[in-house]
Structure 1
Amino acid sequence: MSNSAKKLILASTSIYRRELLERLRIPFSVVSPQVDETPLAGESTIDLALRLAKAKAAAVSREHPDAWVIGSDQVADLCGAAIGKPGNFERAIAQLQLMRGATVTFQTALCLMRGDLQTTLNVPTEVKFRKLSDEALEAYLLAEEPYDCAGSAKSEGLGISLLEAIKSDDPTALIGLPLIALSGLLRDAGFDIPPKK
């Protein structure tokens, strides 16, 4: 069965995940999963990311049982505490000040689901932030406005200048969708990647 004959859905509202999935050059549609992302009491950042990735895939899979559905979620972890999307300049500068000189682990969870079939995994990325002045952090935020990104820095953009080091098995995981892992899962599901002409 060709890629175009299989139905693939990205359960996400993230433009970053959509852009990443487009790199694989296979047809897909996007559906908003409508999932409550509130952490549970005592939930670790890994468990939160895995639960939300699975919940997003399941929410869309219920409406599209014949489709392969991709769910993904990312949680930034600083010393065991989750750091979310800042939403505005004030919260973003506070996040960057807190992470200055620290190592933050970005837990990027992935779930591929079709009916009762599912695989869920996590790809961690360790990010060491530079010790930069408030002036440098403010200049970055005003230039890129990364208020919709967990951790307040876009590594694929100017945010790379805030970082000292990145350790990961998959460089796309930090942007929000681990394509190395996803490519393997999609191949196992029968998709041709790269697609055949």
Structure 2
Amino acid sequence: MTKLILASGSPRRKEFISYLGIDYDVEIPNIDESPVQGETPSELVLRLSCLKADFISKKHSDSVVIAADTVVCFNGMILGKPSSREDAFNMIKMLQGHTHTVYTGVTVQKGNLKRSKVVSTEVTFDSMDDDFIRNYVSSGECDDKAGAYAIQGIASMFISQVKGSVSSVVGLPINEVVKYLREFGLEIPVSKVC
């Protein structure tokens, strides 16, 4: 049986993969995730998801590897994970009252065979005052999240609209992953999922 490897330590991505009812291992790729000058958000997340999948596939060529990368983009600016709580505050303050786009690149790879896609989703935040933003940031939910928020958590209180894939905003476009896994011959045991 083909082994499945998730190339990510993200708890959110692990949770989505666990929904599939397939045994899998986790291996975190050691790659440079710095953007290349002039790179668009789509190009960045696609390149990084491919690099992560390649890194793990080179060590496990008979396994199916799932890798992803997510960024938030607002007014042409790419927002990754905040470097501090102050950085998180500034990100949320900038995004409040506006619509931004979340890009997630996903790659599923086995040996030299690879399927990749970028999924974009528009997310609209309500307007918030500084105290509300500070309270949100102090919750810690913003830590280690692209754009300084988690759509599936407390942040859902100030998200007024989502156009596109919610799972992609969380960090893994699960619909695309399931399609690619089936292409690679892995069956999703629905009886274990439902």
Fold match by TM threshold 0.5: yes
2:172 paired residue number = 177
Give how far 1:141 is off.
1.5
Give how far 1:87 is off.
3.4
Quote the Cα distance in structure 2 between the aligned partners of 1:142 and 1:162.
16
Quote the Cα distance in structure 2 between the aligned partners of 1:190 and 1:18.
21
2:15 paired residue number = 19
TM-score, normalisation: structure 2: 0.95
User: Secondary structure at the residue paired with 2:88?
Assistant: helix
2:3 paired residue number = 7
2:95 paired residue number = 99
Give how far 1:19 is off.
1.3
1:73 aligns with 2:69: yes
Quote the Cα distance in structure 1 between the aligned partners of 2:7 and 2:141.
25
Structure 1: runs of 5 or more not aligned: none
Quote the Cα distance in structure 1 between the aligned partners of 2:191 and 2:90.
48
Quote the Cα distance in structure 1 between the aligned partners of 2:24 and 2:106.
16
Q: Percent of counterpart pairs with the same letter?
A: 34
Quote the Cα distance in structure 1 between the aligned partners of 2:87 and 2:172.
24
Question: Is residue 26–residue 195 contact of structure 1 (8 Å, CA) maintained in 2?
Answer: no
Quote the Cα distance in structure 2 between the aligned partners of 1:76 and 1:114.
28
Quote the Cα distance in structure 1 between the aligned partners of 2:98 and 2:30.
33
Give how far 1:118 is off.
0.3
1:188 paired residue number = 183
After superposition, what is the alpha-carbon deviation per residue over 1:129-180, rounded to whole angstroms, capped at 9, x for unaligned? 1111011111112224321101111111111112111111x32111001111
Q: Alignment partner for residue 133 of structure 1, among 129, 136, 144?
A: 129
Quote the Cα distance in structure 2 between the aligned partners of 1:78 and 1:61.
33
Quote the Cα distance in structure 1 between the aligned partners of 2:128 and 2:189.
41
Quote the Cα distance in structure 2 between the aligned partners of 1:123 and 1:194.
25
Question: Is residue 141–residue 154 contact of structure 2 (8 Å, CA) maintained in 1?
Answer: no
Q: Alignment partner for residue 111 of structure 1, among 93, 107, 113?
A: 107
2:138 paired residue number = 142
1:82 aligns with 2:69: no
Quote the Cα distance in structure 2 between the aligned partners of 1:95 and 1:71.
26
1:43 aligns with 2:39: yes
Quote the Cα distance in structure 2 between the aligned partners of 1:172 and 1:16.
9
TM-score, normalisation: structure 1: 0.93
2:25 paired residue number = 29
Aligned residues: 192
Quote the Cα distance in structure 1 between the aligned partners of 2:142 and 2:175.
25
